[in-house]
Amino acid sequence: MAQGIKIVTIGGGSSYTPELVEGFIKRYDELPVRELWLVDIEEGKEKLEIVGNLARRMIEKAGLPIEVHLTLDRRAALQNADFVTTQFRVGLLDARAKDERIPLSYGVLGQETNGPGGLFKGLRTIPVILEIVQDMKELCPDAWLINFTNPAGMVTEAVLRYTDHKKIVGLCNVPIGIEMGIAKLLDIDHSRIRIDFAGLNHMVYGLDVYVDGVSVKEKVMELLSDPENSSFVKNIEGQGWEPEFIRALNVLTCPYHMYYYKTDEMLQKELENFRNGTTRAEVVQQLEEELFELYKDPDLAVKPPQLEQRGGAYYSDAAVRLISSIYNDKRDIQPVNTINNGAIASIPDDSAVEVSCVITKEGPRPIVHGDLPVAVRGLVQQIKSFERVGAEAAVTGNYDTALLAMTINPLVPSDKIGKAILDEMLEAHKEHLPRFFKKINV
């Protein structure tokens, strides 16, 4: 990392990229990026150009010497990279729409990270991630892979379990979103908050919460058991837990917990969206079109505020904060996805977890959290079982294993319905699932 840092962003044509660029600009003093390589595939070329040009205008306006490279040649980009970030989406938003709509057509939540939709996102994504890791081992073996692509838990699990590249961190904006929400709830500055996060990606709990280092958990749980306060995180509507339930649970939940503790209500809402053509994928497709219209404006040289509605809030901050802490050996505490190694007692040592870590130049080092409360261990293990079987299916392309992952998912009500969903989704995503179909094609 001699003369400035080389960052490679795979899926660089994403609408999120301006957020990331803003982050690099803001932290340039501590994180002197020299080259930013935005990589995309042929189908994303146009968006890559639009976003890339906006990035250049943003950097020019900030007066910084960061070079922006746009390329479709991933291997050229990876050469000697210091950090590789992944935010690509195999099959684009069309695929996400299928991930959501096919399960819903069977009366089942799609849930694009830990549900049937998430399984297929994993099946499409993991083989590509493994190829990237393969390239990295050759072209930039000391680089860190910072993965934002969902399902981040299953992806991190797959890289840890099926490759020997241990320099991977899975990153999610949910924990930072919870911190922001709690800060707002307490009406104090975010910097004063620290939460002990432990669990899995999109299945993370806040075991304790501190203001200026002093636990305020009792007060926060009291506030959260008031239904008025429960909607403290954006993008997924108000949690509105039954007060006695959240009081007995006695840990902070994340928005995705609603899929499991309010399955019925979430399903009703999504079935309505399904009928109205307003599932999240469809809403996002609309938002994205509008965003790219904005990005095209040659006078635009900042991240437009509309991006926040996209759901990427705090991504920039989380990502650049993490990269900077690694680069600078900051040893501050951040919640990331990494290998457990004893941090959470009831999860195997060699599995991926999302947990508060000290971030060092040699990567994240989890802080011990003892064990999760009894009441949440079951659900966490169930998602962990799902992640592991799903990752195995993605790597092997084995139909039976995929059906097993589908059926043990807590949102799927039977092996029979699971099989129906699986079969329709395999067919729908066929072109992006070579490990499942290669043999047939030959």
CA distance 120 to 428: 10
Query: How many Cα atoms are found within 13 Å in the side-chain-facing hemisphere of 335?
Result: 28
Of the chain, the end-to-end C-alpha distance in Å amounts to 45
Strand 203-211 and strand 193-200: pairing?
antiparallel
Contacts of 436 (CB under 8 A, 6+ apart): 123, 397, 399, 402, 426, 430
Measure CA 376 to chain center.
21
**Least distance to a second copy from the beta carbon of 182, Å?**
17
Q: Residues with Cβ < 8 Å from 406, sequence gap 6 or more?
A: 116, 119, 412, 418, 419, 421, 422
Annotated binding site for Mn(2+): 172, 202
How far apart are CB 197 and a second copy at their closest, in Å? 13
Q: 291 vs 389, which CB is nearer to a second copy?
A: 389
Which of 348, 397 has the CB closer to a second copy? 348
CB 220 within 8 A of CB 204: no
- From residue 257, give the alpha-carbon distance in Å to each of 114, 202, 238: 10, 8, 11
Contacts for 68 with CB less than 8 Å, ≥ 6 apart = 36, 38, 52, 55, 56, 59
Using the minimum distance from each CB to a second copy, give the nearer residue, 153 or 312.
153
Q: How far is the CB of 297 from a second copy (least distance, A)?
A: 42
Reply yes or no on whether 106 is catalytic: no
User: 42 vs 362, which CB is nearer to a second copy?
Assistant: 362
Q: How crowded is the C-beta side of 339, counted as CA atoms within 13 Å?
A: 13
> CB of residue 25 vs a second copy: minimum separation in angstroms?
24
Look-up of token digits 């991926």? 352
Q: Give the shortest CB-47-to-a second copy separation in angstroms.
A: 37
Give the nearer residue to a second copy in terms of CB position, either 157 or 317. Answer: 157
Q: What are phi and psi of 419, to 5 degrees?
A: -65, -40
- Smallest distance, a second copy to C-beta of residue 34, A: 20
Three-state secondary-structure class, residue 196: strand
Q: Which is nearer to a second copy, 283 or 420 (CB)?
A: 420
Residue from 16, 28, 162, 256 carrying the catalytic annotation: 256
Give yes or no for a contact between 127 and 406, defined as CB atoms under 8 angstroms apart.
no
Cβ closest to a second copy, residue 121 vs residue 257 = 257
Least distance (Å) from a second copy to the CB of residue 284?
Answer: 26
Tokens of 56: 């250049």
Q: Is 261 exposed, middle or buried (0-12, 13-18, 19+ CB in 10 A)?
A: middle
Structure tokens given for 196: 């002990």
Q: Which residues are catalytic?
A: 256
